[in-house]
Chain A
Amino acid sequence: MATALDVRGLKKTYTTGGTSLEAIEQLDFSIGQGELVCIVGPSGAGKTTLLRCISGLLDATDGVVELDGAAVTEPPAGMAVVFQEYGRSLFPWLTVRQNVELPLKEKKVPRARRTELVDEALAAVGLADSASSHPWQLSGGMQQRVAIARAIAYEPSVLLMDEPFAAVDAQTRADLEDLVRELWKRLGVTVLFVTHDIDEAVYLGQRVLVLSNRPTVILEDVAIDLPDERDQLTTRSAPRFAELRAHVYELIQKAKKGERPA
């Protein structure tokens, strides 16, 4: 499997005035093309810092992030990000269609292809009928669907998701989780999904990277050997799901107590 995203020796230290805070001590991992990997960690584990470094929004103190073999120094063309704060990430003065289309215009995608991509993406997230609404006319879950549609229409080789469902209610969250699985399978896109929700990480991922607390390192890279066909009911009640969940839960508890890998 070819590598889509490669993170080597990533380190981030914030320096303000005389004091410095080590957020990320050392991170090494890589994600293969077409993989769906979740990152989970205790609160304050530097998940957002990590994601901002990977997406090129934040300069790392040391180490390299490579997307498809090219070093990331600024937000790369082959990456799309879905933020947790959907309400602040969509442009309220644009309609749903315009929101999805604007990045494509910036990418100089020809008009006909643009229309096609936007229609497909909106249909894929079940919002074909809301194209002419404004984001604030939609529910939170639907707004996050718009953000997802914008990301997939962009045709990224890696899709980053920063706790995307932390602000929606539980039922909507389950629907959106299934949507992510479905889109991932259908489009073959590489997904890096950051969450603080253990169940969500185990349910979605093929691998779950468990982070330590600050300064962050990887505590364990857990392979999720659940069947590829997953659904909320049977997967979540499978004994293997419970085992994996318990294992990740234990790791998080250890992380909170400050345990580091040997």
Chain B
Amino acid sequence: MRFARTIAYALALPIVLVAVWWFASAGSTSVFWPPLSKIVSVFGETWTADRWTGDVLPSLARLAAGYAVAMATGVLLGVVIGLYRPVRAFCEPTLEFFRAVPPPVLVPVIALFLGYTGDASKIVTIALGCLWPILLNTVEGVRGLDEVMLDTARCYRFSAWTRLRQVVLRGASPQIAAGARQALSIGVILMVISELFGANRGLGASIVQFQRSFAVPQMWTGIILLGVLGFLLSVLFRLVEHYSLAWYRGLRQADRGA
């Protein structure tokens, strides 16, 4: 019963918005603002198997690759910077500067070095954009590790590997997850932006091509698809987070109760 109500609450607003769009656009004769019924009807014919394998999946694969690179580098560097005070003092101002640079401006720079037609440059764009929130949150998380917990690990003579895996990474994981969540939405944005320059295949590139060829309903289907994919990715993320950080939720609830 409670579950049903939660679902109903979550779905109510989207249903209302779709309904409003449906009826408000029903009689539209504007080329740029086609009726929603028209957009829905071309969805199937637009996103064919070829489109999925040639555009959507490669885009998602690049996102996954860039995101994975950013996670690995961000967590690794973050642990090193967070654990060693001199490294932190040395790096931190520079990191703050790089964080302040909006990731999309990197696109022309990367294009200079790598060209902008291949996968590498797009993956690098996504990775560079995702890196900062992961890196900075990891640094914060590692720095905030409890002294007593680290002392405990030393007293029981944990090996460096166990300390890293069981204490440092687990202890910093709530913060790392917060960074990873920010990074995911940045990644989706950059996945699209990276395809707006010099790409002819990809989800973002398709949307631009539809727009340039005045295939307006098709363009709208691309935007809807992008929104749905972004939404599904964040649901997936939250699912993973829900299970891996169950202890953190419990701990916080217990702290509030006390």
Q: Give the interface of A toward B (CB within 8 A).
A: 55, 57, 74-75, 77, 79-81, 83, 85, 88-89, 91-94, 102-103, 105-107, 134, 136-137, 154
Contact = CB atoms under 8 A, between A and B. Distances in A.
A134 B166 CA distance: 15
A127 to B, nearest CB: 17
Contacts of B147: 88
Contacts, number: 68
Contacts of A92: 247-248, 250-251
B157 interface: yes
Interface string B143-164: 0001111011011111100100
Given A136-B250, A136-B254, A137-B250, A88 B158 contact: no
A103 B156 contact: yes
A220 B247 CA distance: 47
Contacts of B251: 92, 134, 136
Contacts of B162: 102, 105-106
B167 interface: yes
A89 B148 contact: yes
Contacts of B158: 102-103, 106
B250 A88 contact: no
A89 B156 CA distance: 11
A257 to B, nearest CB: 33
Interface string B234-246: 0000000000000
A105 B166 CA distance: 12
B247 A57 contact: no
A91 B148 contact: no
Given A85-B148, A91-B167, A57 B254 contact: no
**Chain B interface bracket (under 10, 10 to 19, 20 to 34, 35 or more):** 20 to 34
Nearest to A83: B148
A57 B166 contact: no
13 contacts: A74-B154, A85-B148, A89-B148, A91-B149, A92-B247, A92-B250, A92-B251, A93-B171, A102-B156, A102-B158, A134-B250, A134-B251, A136-B250
A91 B156 contact: no
B170 interface: yes
A93 B158 CA distance: 16
Contact of B157 (A89, A94, A106): A106
A215 to B, nearest CB: 24
Contact of B152 (A74, A77, A83, A134): A83
A191 to B, nearest CB: 15
Q: Give the one of A57, A77, A106 with max B CB within 10 A.
A: A106
B146 A102 contact: no
Nearest to B245: A93
Contact of A75 (B149, B154, B166, B247): B154
A208 to B, nearest CB: 24
Contact of B247 (A81, A85, A93, A107): A93
B166 A102 contact: yes
A137 B246 CA distance: 12
Contacts of A83: 148, 151-152
B127 to A, nearest CB: 28
